[in-house]
């Protein structure tokens, strides 16, 4: 509908300067595969136009679909730029909701991947330094509103009726400076990998909030390498990704340097065992424990050896003691105390913690916070829909919006503004 014209320019009347630049912006958006429509039911609106309108909503900071519909009615120039025919009725809120609910997420992911390939071709994204993080996306349910009176508000078995796909998760908030607080919420979580140098989102997967971040690391990076085949130099992440399987994958498979913050729980010795000169652990009764086989701990990705109480498993010690000298409670409730000791080499011993390069490259992880800040600035954390597929599509469109601005800036020799999400169009002069 770009051929439509207005007798009176609404850009001039309303001083909506960015409107004239949306045509250039949308020219970099390949939505040709969205042409198909069902042959039954009401005559549909072009899905390309509905998608452009949601991108317009993001860039203008319009919080709800209702306000988007009102904006399109009040600003015919914007409706024309999105591809609607202003001589006919414009789409209702239900049409936008239907797009988000019924569109398969793979169709939107195809658009996102095409934008990424274009940015890689222009050498904007190199994939040398990648950072992973996640962002909570609370659902629009009364359980998340602490001002409402709800019984069993955060009982994980009581799933909110308002959003059956939502799950219980935790989020960190800072009610006061330097004061951290953990809060429960019902909703989803977006797992993101960014190009840490250019601070652009590279990959994202939306999951229910109860899916742990570390579980998503390997599947996401395998998909990234399958699609792009990057020569990764370093991978950044916080302590939640400090697991042996993740560190091994970074070192052995990606051939990269892990810049993952150490988790204190993986460095301390909870049992505080002492060892004899022969290398055997000593129990609380100051007796050498006996080895009883080794096994592979699949969950922890390590080899461990089991050590048992000598009083129950050695006739030599049993003849010398009637009871455990330390009166250990497990001596009576089971066959004495036991201990599991790791016997293979910890992958962390190969990482140069504390080095200058580790400290310098670890600082790139802060780019994830700035990327999320830009995504939240276009209302990604406040989806106007409730179903899982609709929320996933809404989050994907938020990523498309960020990448589309970056590509438009790069193609118009404005590489210094590829991260200017809301301020790019007003200052853009094609």
Model pTM? 0.83
d(CA 366, CA 133): 10
Task: With beta carbons less than 8 A apart as the criterion, state whether 376 and 173 touch.
Answer: no
Task: With beta carbons less than 8 A apart as the criterion, state whether 251 and 244 touch.
Answer: no
Which of 318, 346, 374 is a domain's end point?
A: 346
Are both 27 and 154 inside the same structural domain?
no
Residue 81 within any structural domain of the chain: yes
Q: Which two tokens mark 316?
A: 């030599």
Are both 57 and 187 inside the same structural domain?
no
Q: What is the CATH number of the domain that holds 240?
A: 3.30.420
Residue 5 within any structural domain of the chain: no
Q: How crowded is residue 363: how many other Cβ atoms within 10 Å of its Cβ?
A: 11
Are both 320 and 244 inside the same structural domain?
no
pLDDT at 267: 54
pLDDT at 195: 96
pLDDT at 268 over 80: no
pLDDT at 50: 95
Helix (H, G, I), strand (E, B) or coil at 409: helix
pLDDT at 41: 57
CA distances from 279 to 251, 261, 282, 288 (A): 30, 31, 9, 9
Residue 108 within any structural domain of the chain: no
Look at the alpha carbons of 295, 297, 302, 307 in this order and tell me if their dihedral is positive or negative: negative
**How many structural domains is the chain composed of?**
3
Are both 69 and 132 inside the same structural domain?
no
pLDDT at 1 over 50: no
pLDDT at 266: 58
CA distances from 271 to 79, 274, 341, 363 (A): 67, 9, 10, 34
Nearest to 377 by CA among 26, 16, 59: 59
Q: What is the pLDDT of residues 79-137, one digit of tens each?
A: 998 999 988 999 999 999 999 999 999 999 999 999 999 999 999 999 999 999 999 99
CA 47 to chain centre: 27
pLDDT at 14: 43
Mean pLDDT, the chain, integer: 87
pLDDT at 283 over 80: yes
Nearest to 137 by CA among 185, 65, 199: 185
Residue 43 within any structural domain of the chain: yes
Q: How confident is the model at residue 11 (pLDDT cuts 50, 70, 90)?
A: very low
Contacts of 176 (CB under 8 A, 6+ apart): none
Residue with the bigger pLDDT between 15 and 369: it is: 369
Task: With beta carbons less than 8 A apart as the criterion, state whether 16 and 75 touch.
Answer: yes
Q: Which two tokens mark 360?
A: 């310098």
Are both 247 and 324 inside the same structural domain?
no
Q: Which two tokens mark 350?
A: 């190969």
Are both 272 and 342 inside the same structural domain?
yes
Which of 291, 324, 346 is a domain's end point?
A: 346
d(CA 250, CA 386): 36
Contacts of 79 (CB under 8 A, 6+ apart): 53, 72, 73, 86, 90
Task: With beta carbons less than 8 A apart as the criterion, state whether 243 and 348 touch.
Answer: no
DSSP letter string, 201-253: EEEEEEEETTS-HHHHHHHHHHHHHHHH-----EEEE-GGG--HHHHHIIIII
pLDDT at 190: 96
Listed in sequence order, the DSSP H helices in 61-121 are 65-74, 76-82, 93-102, 105-121
Are both 220 and 341 inside the same structural domain?
no
Are both 249 and 365 inside the same structural domain?
yes
Are both 165 and 288 inside the same structural domain?
no
Q: What is the pLDDT of residues 169-201, one digit of tens each?
A: 999 888 788 788 899 999 999 999 999 999 999
Indicate the Cα dihedral angle 53, 57, 63, 69, nearest 10°: -40
d(CA 125, CA 197): 8
d(CA 413, CA 423): 16
Are both 271 and 257 inside the same structural domain?
no
pLDDT at 101: 94
Are both 366 and 282 inside the same structural domain?
no
Q: Which two tokens mark 120?
A: 């890689």
Beta strands in 242-374 (DSSP E): 257-260, 274-275, 281-282, 290-297, 302-308, 338-342
Nearest to 187 by CA among 380, 51, 397, 57: 380
Residue 420 within any structural domain of the chain: no
Please give the share of the chain, as a percent, with pLDDT higher than 70: 90
Residue identified by tokens 């992973």 is 132
d(CA 259, CA 245): 14
DSSP letter string, 140-200: S-GGG-TTS--TTTT-TTS--TT-TT-EEEEEEEEEETTEEEEEEEEEEEEEEEEETTTTE
d(CA 116, CA 105): 16
Are both 91 and 157 inside the same structural domain?
no
d(CA 350, CA 27): 49
Residue 190 within any structural domain of the chain: yes
pLDDT at 247 over 90: yes
Q: Residue 287's domain spans which residues?
A: 266-346
């Amino acid at each position: 509908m770009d051929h439509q014209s207005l007798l009176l320019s609404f850009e001039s009347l309303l001083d909506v300067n960015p409107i004239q630049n949306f045509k250039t912006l949308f020219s970099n958006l390949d939505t040709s595969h969205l042409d198909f429509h069902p042959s039954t039911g009401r005559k549909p609106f072009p899905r390309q136009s509905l998608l452009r309108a949601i991108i317009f909503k993001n860039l203008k900071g319009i919080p709800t679909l209702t306000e988007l519909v009102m904006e399109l009615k009040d600003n015919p120039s914007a409706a024309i730029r999105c591809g609607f025919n202003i001589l006919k009725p414009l789409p209702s809120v239900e049409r936008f909701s239907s797009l988000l609910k019924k569109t398969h997420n793979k169709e939107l992911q195809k658009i996102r991947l095409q934008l990424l390939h274009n940015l890689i071709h222009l050498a904007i994204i190199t994939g040398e330094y990648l950072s992973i993080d996640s962002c909570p996306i609370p659902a629009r349910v009364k359980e998340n509103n602490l001002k409402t009176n709800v019984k069993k508000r955060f009982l994980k078995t009581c799933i909110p009726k308002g959003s059956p796909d939502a799950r219980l998760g935790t989020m960190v908030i800072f009610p006061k400076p330097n004061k951290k607080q953990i809060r429960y919420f019902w909703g989803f979580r977006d797992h993101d990998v960014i190009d840490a140098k250019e601070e652009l989102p590279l990959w994202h997967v939306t999951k229910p909030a109860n899916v742990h971040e570390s579980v998503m690391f390997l599947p996401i990076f395998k998909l990234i390498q399958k699609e792009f085949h990057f020569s990764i130099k370093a991978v950044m992440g916080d302590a939640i990704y400090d697991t042996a399987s993740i560190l091994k994958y970074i070192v052995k498979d990606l051939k990269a340097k892990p810049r993952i913050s150490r988790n204190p729980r993986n460095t301390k010795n909870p049992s505080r065992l002492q060892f004899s000169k022969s290398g055997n652990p000593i129990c609380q009764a100051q007796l050498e424990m006996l080895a009883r086989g080794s096994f592979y701990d699949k969950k922890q990705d390590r080899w461990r050896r089991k050590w048992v109480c000598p009083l129950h498993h050695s006739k030599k010690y049993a003849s010398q003691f009637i009871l455990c000298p330390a009166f250990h409670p497990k001596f009576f409730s089971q066959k004495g105390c036991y201990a599991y000791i790791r016997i293979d080499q910890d992958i962390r011993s190969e990482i140069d913690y504390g080095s200058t390069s580790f400290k310098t490259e670890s600082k790139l992880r802060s780019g994830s916070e700035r990327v999320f800040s830009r995504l939240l600035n276009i209302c990604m954390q406040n989806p106007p829909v409730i179903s899982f597929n609709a929320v996933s599509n809404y989050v994907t469109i938020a990523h498309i919006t960020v990448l589309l601005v970056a590509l438009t800036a790069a193609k118009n020799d404005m590489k210094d503004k590829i991260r200017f999400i809301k301020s790019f169009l007003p200052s853009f002069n094609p």
